[in-house]
């Protein structure tokens, strides 16, 4: 899974970028790889490698409720290794062809 905000700066030469410019480029990105399980309308994600080290700690997981309508996948986090998630925001991903 890789996610990058479209609001990142356009830096073509990272060897000349300042620390602040590199943080602005790197921070709005998420990158994880691992396994997932689907049961009904829930998907459990278990990262093995991740951009943020705490995400890949042994036993770490996240559970999302999901739905698919046309080309849109909606994900709402339900719980993680720390317990239920409050203030559940829904992320909508639209498939572009």
pLDDT in tens, 24-71: 888 888 889 999 999 999 999 999 999 888 888 999 999 999 999 999
pLDDT in tens, 71-85: 999 999 999 999 999
**pTM value?**
0.75
Give domain limits for the chain.
31-97
Angstrom distance (rounded) from CA 33 to CA 50:
6
8 versus 18: the higher-pLDDT residue is 18
Angstrom distance (rounded) from CA 74 to CA 31:
19
Angstrom distance (rounded) from CA 62 to CA 45:
5
């Amino acid at each position: 899974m890789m996610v990058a905000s479209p609001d990142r700066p356009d830096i073509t030469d990272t060897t000349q970028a300042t620390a602040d410019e590199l943080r602005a480029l790197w921070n709005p990105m998420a990158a994880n790889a691992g396994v997932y399980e689907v049961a009904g309308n829930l998907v459990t994600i278990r990262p093995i490698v991740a951009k943020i080290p705490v995400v890949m700690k042994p036993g770490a997981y996240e559970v999302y409720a999901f739905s698919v309508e046309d080309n849109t996948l909606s994900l709402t986090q339900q719980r993680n290794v720390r317990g239920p998630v409050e203030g559940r925001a829904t992320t909508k991903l639209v498939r572009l062809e």
